[in-house]
Chains A and B, each alone.
Chain A
Amino acid sequence: MFIKLRRNKLILVLLLLGGCLIASLFLASTFGAVAIPLPDILRMALNKVAIFDFPTTWRTVEETIIFQIRLPRVIGGALVGAALATAGVLFQGLLRNPMADPYIIGTSAGAALGATIAMLLPINLAFLGFGLIPVAAFCGALATVFLVYNLARVGGKTPIISMLLAGVVVSSLMAAIMALLISISDRLQLNLHSVYSFLMGHISVTSWEQIAVIAPLVIGGIIGARFFAYHLNAFSLGEEGASYLGIEVERDKILILALGSLLTAAAVSISGLVGFVGLVVPHAVRLSFGPEHRLLLPASAIAGGAFVVIADLLARTLLAPVEIPVGVITAIIGAPFFIYLLRHTRKEYAF
């Protein structure tokens, strides 16, 4: 009876959030430099699925805009949001720190340094639809986590507190190196706008090729994360407590970190550093539906996707033709929301 209730709640919540995500995808597709009415988009989409054949009441250029420009970007935004929110749940659960976000152990600084070095290099190469910058950001993020993990490792164990501290130190070091590179390189100073755009977050998806690479990583990561739901619940009792419950703590720690870092790196490679998503979305979902990870993981992924899609829509349209960095929008929405949570649920954050 209780289990049935829990199942029903899970289905209900996922349906509700899934509806929001789909609505946000359509909404974000209609608005832009050229407004394309929603019914037209629906018909275009249905025509693509072959069995339908609506008369073409739209111009071909509109179809091109939707399928070649807008949809890849909108879907890219959804993937970024889903990846960051899932990584946020993984890091908060593992580190037992409500202030943890996907960037906490250095992914952001590593990605930024990687991207900066890529901008510095006079090489122009494309790889599966990606330029050098996203690839370098991806590698920088993963390399940093690897470095932080190994720095924090003492005698076969990696205490969480050492990892947090190592993350802070390595991040500062990388930020310093980045600042140094910018100050001594004319090339970077000319490219300062790109550096800035990377740091503030910008969904830079221009082709389906990129989606074809990122989507399997993100979706695979989200499915992989679901395997650790029980483990993350057990980690709420701390590493020792989890161990008493039969969790192989050190092994699972590596796996969860790797999964979270991979998701973060995938997101960062197509969007730069979009802040607040990985911090705020898991909190909002936890407060609305409880901290149980079997619900929290998928619900955060879907909610995170919808959040970034809407934020990116606002970023594109609010001051058009000027595009605001999407990270600015997520911060402007996210920060006050987080402060609200902080003020109204004190107990939650007793630490």
Chain B
Amino acid sequence: MIDLQICQVSFSYLDGLVLHNINLSVNAGEIVGLLGPNGSGKTTLLKLASGVLKPNQGEIKLDGSSLSQLSRKSIARNIAVVPQQFHVPFAFTASEIVMLGRTPFLRPLAEETEADRRLVNNALELVGIKELAQRRFDELSGGERQKVILAMALAQQPKLLLLDEPTVHLDIAHQVEILELVRGLNIRQGLTVIAAMHDLNLAALYFDRLILLKEGRVWADGAPSQVLTEAKISEVFSASVMVEKHPLTGVPHIVVMPKGSAIKRE
């Protein structure tokens, strides 16, 4: 169990400011969705939270200690990241990729132990891809690869899992499968999760707390019913929508309002 505090963080790439004075704190056991239009800073915020980018101003604390003071190794023993996509140039098998998740725990010349092996097997089983273990990673489909990377992140035994649009290249069945899995880990093992999401409806279904970003600032932060309102969505995305209630769960369900050309003539 671990918590993350983002204190007055600003960040800019060489060509301009991306995040302005972000203050957020994510407690151990929370499951948080980051929403916002393209370029609103979701991915950058995740990279800051994982420590691969350093804030220009402000500080990010993991369980009270500043990320910039921690070694990559000790960060990797606590935080795992599932990026949108990995390209692997060599013919590793899926289980070899999942074993990479044990890297922060291995010593340079020591072999992996039975315990490492067991964690890899558990991760493969948990994600439901045991049968893919010996297949070549570069020959798998996009959805299968996403699951292998998720299994790799789980083999890392993280306390905080960061996901960057985990469902973006997947069909609807795989999207639900991945999110069910992540949500299940959050409920059963108390895994803290922060995920950038594009699909507002899936975000409403699977996350307890949503953070809406606009132009590098936090626009709204709270339960799905507080964040996903018609007003806020139209402010942030400049899209006109209608918000209904999900028939089963009661969370907000967003219906897109077409603009003219999609309205069928009777």
Residues of A within 8 A of B (CB): 2-3, 7, 96-98, 155, 226-230, 233-234, 236-238, 240-241, 243-249, 286, 290-292, 347-348, 350-351
Contact = CB atoms under 8 A, between A and B. Distances in A.
B206 interface: no
A229 B106 CA distance: 11
B43 to A, nearest CB: 11
Interface stretch (B3-11, B89-97, B176-184, B230-238): B89-97
A292 B136 CA distance: 13
B81 A244 contact: yes
Contacts of B77: 246
Interface in B64-108: 71-77, 79-81, 83, 86-93, 96, 100-101, 103-104, 106, 108
Nearest to A293: B90
Given A2-B117, A246-B73, A347-B138, A236 B104 contact: no
A348 to B, nearest CB: 6
Contacts of B125: none
A245 B75 CA distance: 9
Interface residues of B, number: 39
Q: Which of A227, A229, A243 is most buried by chain B, counting CB atoms within 10 A of its CB?
A: A243
B80 to A, nearest CB: 7
A286 B104 contact: no
B91 A290 contact: yes
B114 A3 contact: yes
Contact of A347 (B92, B108, B139): B139
Given A230-B106, A236-B92, A7 B138 contact: no
A248 B103 CA distance: 12
B72 A291 contact: no
A98 B138 CA distance: 14
23 contacts: A3-B112, A3-B114, A96-B89, A97-B89, A98-B90, A155-B14, A226-B109, A230-B103, A233-B100, A233-B103, A243-B52, A244-B50, A244-B83, A245-B100, A245-B103, A245-B156, A246-B104, A248-B72, A290-B92, A292-B92, A292-B96, A348-B90, A350-B138
Contact of A245 (B92, B93, B104, B113): B104
A236 B90 contact: yes
Contacts of A236: 88-90, 92, 100
A254 to B, nearest CB: 15
Contacts of A96: 89
Given A3-B112, A347-B138, A247 B103 contact: yes
B52 A244 contact: yes
Nearest to A243: B52
Given A246-B76, A249-B72, A286-B90, 17 more contacts: A3-B112, A97-B89, A98-B90, A227-B109, A228-B108, A230-B106, A230-B108, A236-B100, A237-B88, A240-B83, A243-B72, A244-B50, A245-B76, A246-B103, A247-B103, A291-B90, A347-B91
Nearest to A249: B72
B92 A291 contact: yes
Which of B83, B86, B89, B109: most chain A CB closer than 10 A?
Answer: B89
A114 B220 CA distance: 63
B103 A234 contact: yes
Interface string B12-36: 0010000000000000000000000
Nearest to A97: B89
Contacts of B50: 244
Nearest to A223: B109
A292 B138 CA distance: 15
A170 B8 CA distance: 43
A246 B86 contact: no
Contact of A351 (B75, B81, B89, B93): B89
Contacts of A226: 109
B111 interface: yes
Nearest to B114: A3
Given A3-B112, A238-B86, A291 B100 contact: no
B91 A348 contact: yes
A106 to B, nearest CB: 22
B12 to A, nearest CB: 12
B92 A248 contact: no
